[in-house]
Amino acid sequence: MQFMLLFSRQGKLRLQKWYVPLSDKEKKKITRELVQTVLARKPKMCSFLEWRDLKIVYKRYASLYFCCAIEDQDNELITLEIIHRYVELLDKYFGSVCELDIIFNFEKAYFILDEFLLGGEVQETSKKNVLKAIEQADLLQEKTENVYHSKSFIVCKRAY
Amino acid sequence: MALKMVKGSIDRMFDKNLQDLVRGIRNHKEDEAKYISQCIDEIKQELKQDNIAVKANAVCKLTYLQMLGYDISWAAFNIIEVMSASKFTFKRIGYLAASQCFHEGTDVIMLTTNQIRKDLSSPSQYDTGVALTGLSCFVTPDLARDLANDIMTLMSHTKPYIRKKAVLIMYKVFLKYPESLRPAFPRLKEKLEDPDPGVQSAAVNVICELARRNPKNYLSLAPLFFKLMTSSTNNWVLIKIIKLFGALTPLEPRLGKKLIEPLTNLIHSTSAMSLLYECVNTVIAVLISLSSGMPNHSASIQLCVQKLRILIEDSDQNLKYLGLLAMSKILRTHPKSVQAHKDLVLQCLDDKDESIRLRALDLLYGMVSKKNLMEIVKKLMTHVDKAEGTTYRDELLTKIIDICSQSNYQHITNFEWYISILVELTRLEGTRHGHLIAAQMLDVAIRVKAIRRFAVSQMSALLDSAHLVASSTQRNGICEVLYAAAWICGEFSEHLQEPQQTLEAMLRPKVTTLPGHIQAVYVQNVVKLYAAILQQKEQAADVQAAQEVTQLLVERLPQFVQSADLEVQERASCILQLVKHVQKLQAKDVPVAEEVSALFAGELNPVAPKAQKKVPVPEGLDLDAWINEPLSDSESEDEKPKAIFQDEEQRHAKQRPPEADEQELARRREARKQEQANNPFYIKSSPSPQKRYQDAPGVDHIPVVQIDLSVPLKVPGMPMSDQYVKLEEERRHQQRLEKDKRKKKRRERERRGTRRHSSLHTESDEDIAPAQRVDIVTEEMPENALPSDEDDKDPNDPYRALDIDLDKPLADSEKLPVQKHRNTETPKSPEKEDIPVMEKKSKKPKKKEKKHKEKEREKKKRKEAEKKPSKEKKKKHKKDKEERTKDKKKSKKKTPPREGVAEPMENGALDEDPLPPMSSYCLLAENSYIKMTYDVQGSLQKDSQVTVSVVLENQSSSFLKSMELNVLDSLNARLARPEGSSVHDGVPVPFQLPPGISNEAQFVFTIQSIVMAQKLKGTLSFIAKNDEGSTHEKLDFKLHFTCTSYLVTTPCYSDAFAKLLESGDLSMSSIKVDGISMSFQNLLAKICFHHRFSVVERVDSCASMYSRSIQGHHICLLVKKGEKSVSVDGKCSDPTLLSNLLEEMKETLAKC
């Protein structure tokens, strides 16, 4: 997979992950072009389109479009499966995910994606394992954050 | 400090966090840009604070803004700071930001090497994981090289979580640093059998990706993968493996045969559509590569086509699309199997989804035959009428033309029909493809002689109705067809029924609204017509009519003479004069027709589009040797487009005798029969005696498919193509009847009439005789045409570098680079010559560390690093070199052994108390903007060159750019400048410096004599840009070339050293320095490091040392330590050099 984009029906980018090195300018250009093309497609149309020398696989979930670019020989159906699996993961993590969850916790959405895909390849096919890894990492984060919070709280108290 | 902390955390309470930012942006919909720029200002303030939590929060917000399209590259350094936070919370954010915005051009990326290495070896698996994930997004060739070994070690980590990440990221590393592939591959292969399924699938992923690009290197893995395929139940893995086999089979057909069975089993058994689709695709690939030699492959094809039909019939648009896509792959090799599903494909043409319709169109291209072409095109024409949206209609139009013109009009039996299709297409409004239609009209009219009469009549009708075409569609491309129409009517005017009428049509005032190039053709062809009419009239001795025509031209041509288009104007005025002259002659009753016609005598022959390319290289132009053998005539003939119909052109001197032709045809027909016999989809025609092409019409049997034709409204002069369909059916029917009759007769004659006859006969393609005797004129080609040999490989393909043989055993030199002791001098590579090169690969790791040595944090880390290897090295002390190399090989750290290279610090080893970190870089100049430190290095390969590496550190908050370094050359030392610049020009520094960043530039100097030290005055000029604006700044410096800087650390064995001293042609000098408190060990280390010597031998407090200058002077030292003093005796082939060197050394030692 070359990259993954998430954008809203209004064409606002919600998440982007690039697995090939490109300059910011090029990324912006591609994003603009793809968002336009995909949004212009009618709902009854199939989820694949040929674009430059890549294949674009996209799927709409509620108000969000998930859009992946794959290479010529890649399997479109498994890419749809990947998108679906990612949505399931988000759903499990946030508990029936909505667009706002992804907007306000966009870093979490990235962390989940990073546990699921690495360098454009699926790294973990088991949903359970992905979520376990994320939960444990979050736990680690919360621990340190709590320590930090309590400390700063004490410090604050003392300061006043 | 504590207060600061407190302050930081209080501030933090008032800072916006990410949620606040997002909310804020949503609340400021009208003035979003303003709000965000305000936020960025706040973030900049936050980043200036020491509190890492504040910084992390700021970076997190920046990452969000980056997604919205704001540039955050200015914060790259802050991101690195957050990445190096010790808390996972912050580290995670730092790495996320880095993975989102770092790319190969990010210059601070090289500062991350050590941080990433530290994180990779962190005890927490999540630290390691986050580093690996980040690295996968921004790995550069440098990072790949420096970290390849670390990642490879992680592939054997105890935790599968790390292993699978490490395995996956290896692919990115290979891409950036192909040299790592061979050393890492054995371990990667091991991971195919990892107990953890996740790791295993990761390894499969990586190897499959590798193999897809360069399959031939992975053939040896086929048995292993075969085993995996038959045992694995994980569909994700199966899909990858099957894809891999798809790539391997073209190289190894035997593998293909073996695969068919398990694949067909999977196709039968699986319920996962993705897997089914992958299997079908691979089976197709296998069958394509086998193509022949598989007795039962038709069964597999049938299975694939069946499954695809199910996909296409599915209500899911995605499956439908993919089914059609895969079908088109089969079509290429097994058209007959697909043609059986024509109904389905035609049905898809009515689909709501445009992408599906386009796929179906692609398929149609390969499905047409002589038999069904008209029917299919008719269907397409109705779609053209129905189609909404010009894109799809244009696509249809090009497809119709493609389908009809493919393989040299192979499928067209009736060109009148085709011309009328083209004419019908001209009625499309708003198409962009007028020129395509025009090109077809021209091509057909020129190459199919028999059709010219008909074509001309149609074209003249087009010209006649030109006002329709031109007026409504001036702006779009359809008027292009008038170009073709005018040319055809002019060139083949002899076929015109009423030339006079056409001539008038072409001279209408409306014509001047057409585009210039079309008018030009009009003007030219008006004359051709005129010539034809003159001839006609003169033959009929109708003088008056002839004069009338001339008069018409004289009256109408001036409208073209006034044209704004130069071409039109020129042609028109030329012709007007000609016609006026003719008029004069006519007035004198001189016959002129002959002479006017002579202007256009002769025939224009079409030239093949590739003809120019195929002109062979002339004899005289000798390219020394043939890359390929010169081609024989027969080969070149094969290259020419094959005419289906007999080629009557006499141009080809060597025409095959007709008998041979017939034999060949018979042979081919036989082969075809054979193929058809093997094909279950092919409905065999009843046994009938073969007939030849040339056998004129009437020997044929043709099925009658009654097509219900709605009778179209007939436009006068514009025959509808539909009529031709009907006519054609009738004609074929007629042919069939006649043939049947004959057959019957013969059968009766042969007394075999008892058999049931022609119950189910479908004609095969070649049985349909064309309606007209049509000659397709082949396009002209130069003699001895060369085949075009295009190299389709792209030299820039990043995957090409990974085309590496993996079966060869690993050589010693193929080891991954490992982190080295920071003081270890690796030699500069000899090929350093050209103007400022950035950094040489071989020394990068060292340099990078040096660069930011000022930073406290870095120093600490380095000390840690120093301690470890020094322990190892203790053992090695005083052992000779061979032993050392062996030792290293055994030890885990795989330093590539380098010949003739010593590592000086090893000799002066850090046995006792470690020295503070030393740097050979010394201060060059400094002001409030920038600090310059430099080091001079020579190499033994270049006896009069040294490279000055200057580290530039931006100390200000401004952005420094357009830096240029210049020195005042002396007679002895000169700066090497780019070619073409004068001695007063500066050399540009190849980078810019954001605030707080340092980078290194290298400059080459040529030196005449090296025996004396010398100083060069120079200036660095640059532009400093900050919020207030930009200023032009300068910094003067004095570049000091010490004699030491001309020395190159060179090892020397004690026996060679002794010989050198004995030789006696060295002069001697000595110094003595008092008041030295430093240990002898450290003293030697200092001399080695600062003066580039290596220790030859050391006995107690006495040591011999050696070095060499770039011009080959040997320098030998004997260093003795007394109570509080050190004496140095030196011997050198040049006394001046020696005394200067010793003076410099004295200075160094005095500081000890």
Beta bridge partners of B925: B932
Consecutive H or E run containing A59: strand A54-61
Q: Mutation test of the interface with chain A: which of B355, B362, B388, choosing the one with the most A Cβ atoms within 10 A? A: B355
Query: Which residues on A lie below 8 Å from B22 (Cβ)?
Result: 103-104
Distance in Å, alpha carbon of B671 to nearest chain A alpha carbon: 34
Q: What is the pLDDT of residue B907?
A: 42
Position A65 confidence tier, pLDDT thresholds 50, 70, 90: very high
Contact call for residues B336 and B679 (beta carbons, < 8 A): yes
CB contact under 8 A, A23 and B103: yes
Question: Which portions of chain B are predicted below pLDDT 70?
Answer: 1-15, 291-296, 430, 466-476, 623, 625-627, 629-666, 668-722, 725, 739-740, 742-798, 811-813, 817-918, 1152
- Alpha-carbon Rg of chain A, whole angstroms? 18
Q: Compute CA distances A158 → A155, B4, B6, B49, B926, whole Å.
A: 5, 14, 9, 21, 44
Query: Which residues on A lie below 8 Å from B1 (Cβ)?
Result: none
Pairing, β A3-8 against β A13-18: antiparallel
Query: Which residues on A lie below 8 Å from B100 (Cβ)?
Result: 16, 110
CB contact under 8 A, B236 and A125: yes
Count of H helices and E strands in chain A?
5, 7
Of B104, B212, B318, the CB nearest to A48: B318
Question: B272, B288, B326: which is closest to B304 by C-alpha?
Answer: B326
DSSP B253-269: HHHHHHHHHHHHHHHHH
Q: How many CB pairs under 8 A join A and B?
A: 158
Find the range with the poorest average confidence among A14-18, A61-65, A74-78, B425-429. Answer: B425-429
Q: Compute CA distances B101 → B77, B91, B159, B177, B184, whole Å.
A: 12, 15, 29, 21, 29
Closest residue on chain A to B93 (Cα): A107
Q: What is the pLDDT of residue B1132?
A: 86
Q: What is the pLDDT of residue A87?
A: 93
Query: Which residues on B lie below 8 Å from A17 (Cβ)?
Result: 137
Burial label, A43 (beta-carbon count in 10 A; 0-12, 13-18, 19+): exposed
In whole angstroms, give the CA distance from residue B834 to residue B838.
11
CB contact under 8 A, A46 and B353: yes
Query: Which residues on A lie below 8 Å from B129 (Cβ)?
Result: 133, 137
Question: A94, A74, A83: which is closest to A117 by C-alpha?
Answer: A83
CB contact under 8 A, B355 and A48: yes
Q: Compute CA distances B755 → A7, B686, B691, B751, whole Å.
A: 71, 11, 22, 10
Q: What is the pLDDT of residue B393?
A: 84
Q: What is the 3-state secondary structure (H, E, C) of B946-963?
A: EEEEEEEEECCCCEEEEE
CB contact under 8 A, B169 and A119: yes
Q: What is the pLDDT of residue B479?
A: 80
Q: Mutation test of the interface with chain A: which of B5, B236, B237, B329, choosing the one with the most A Cβ atoms within 10 A? A: B236
Q: What is the token pair recorded at B765?
A: 């393609």
Total-model pTM: 0.59
Distance in Å, alpha carbon of A90 to nearest chain B alpha carbon: 18
Q: Compute CA distances B626 → A31, B13, B182, whole Å.
A: 49, 79, 36
Q: What is the pLDDT of residue B1100?
A: 79
Q: What is the ipTM of this complex?
A: 0.90
DSSP code at position B984 = T
CA B444 to chain centre: 38
Contact call for residues B391 and B357 (beta carbons, < 8 A): no
Q: What is the token pair recorded at B768?
A: 């349909």
Contact call for residues B577 and B571 (beta carbons, < 8 A): no
Closest residue on chain B to A148 (Cα): B53
Q: What is the pLDDT of residue A85?
A: 93
In whole angstroms, give the CA distance from residue B768 to residue B785.
33
CB contact under 8 A, A18 and B137: yes
In whole angstroms, give the CA distance from residue B22 to residue B29.
11
Q: Compute CA distances B458 → A62, B364, B517, B524, whole Å.
A: 56, 28, 22, 20
Of the CA atoms within 13 Å of residue A131, those in its CB half-sphere come to 14
DSSP code at position B770 = P
Burial label, B893 (beta-carbon count in 10 A; 0-12, 13-18, 19+): middle
CB contact under 8 A, B354 and A16: no
Q: Compute CA distances B757 → B513, B734, B1109, whole Å.
A: 63, 18, 103
Residue entry with tokens 């990974």: B802
Q: Compute CA distances B1063 → B397, B527, B1057, B1108, B1142, whole Å.
A: 92, 100, 10, 16, 22
Q: What is the pLDDT of residue B72?
A: 86
Question: B1148, B1070, B1137, B1144: which is closest to B1110 by C-alpha?
Answer: B1137
Please say if the pLDDT value at position A30 is more than 90: yes
Beta bridge partners of B942: B939
Distance in Å, alpha carbon of B328 to nearest chain A alpha carbon: 15
CB contact under 8 A, B277 and A145: no
In whole angstroms, give the CA distance from residue B159 to residue B125.
8
What angle, 0 to 180 degrees and rounded to 10, lies between the N-to-C axes of helices B434-447 and B390-409? 20
Query: Helix, strand, or coil here: A8?
Result: strand
Query: Which residues on A lie below 8 Å from B278 (Cβ)?
Result: 75, 78
Query: Helix, strand, or coil here: B1136?
Result: helix
In whole angstroms, give the CA distance from residue B357 to residue B369.
20
Q: What is the pLDDT of residue A125?
A: 81
Q: Give Cβ neighbours of residue A24 (< 8 Å, ≥ 6 apart).
A: B71, B73, B101, B103
Q: What is the pLDDT of residue A153?
A: 42
Q: What is the pLDDT of residue B673?
A: 62
In whole angstroms, give the CA distance from residue B8 to residue B320.
60
Q: What is the 3-state secondary structure (H, E, C) of B627-683?
A: CCCCCCHHHHHHHCCCCCCCCCCCCCCCCCCHHHHHHHHHHHHHHHHHHHHHCCCCC
The beta strand positions in B987-1061, using DSSP E, are: 987-988, 998-1007, 1014-1026, 1029-1041, 1047-1048
Q: What is the pLDDT of residue A110?
A: 92
CB contact under 8 A, A103 and B22: yes
Q: What is the pLDDT of residue B749?
A: 58
In whole angstroms, give the CA distance from residue B936 to residue B1004.
10
Beta bridge partners of B1098: B1103
Distance in Å, alpha carbon of B318 to nearest chain A alpha carbon: 5
In whole angstroms, give the CA distance from residue B124 to residue B96.
18
CB contact under 8 A, B322 and A152: no
Distance in Å, alpha carbon of A15 to nearest chain B alpha carbon: 7
In whole angstroms, give the CA distance from residue B99 to residue B63.
10
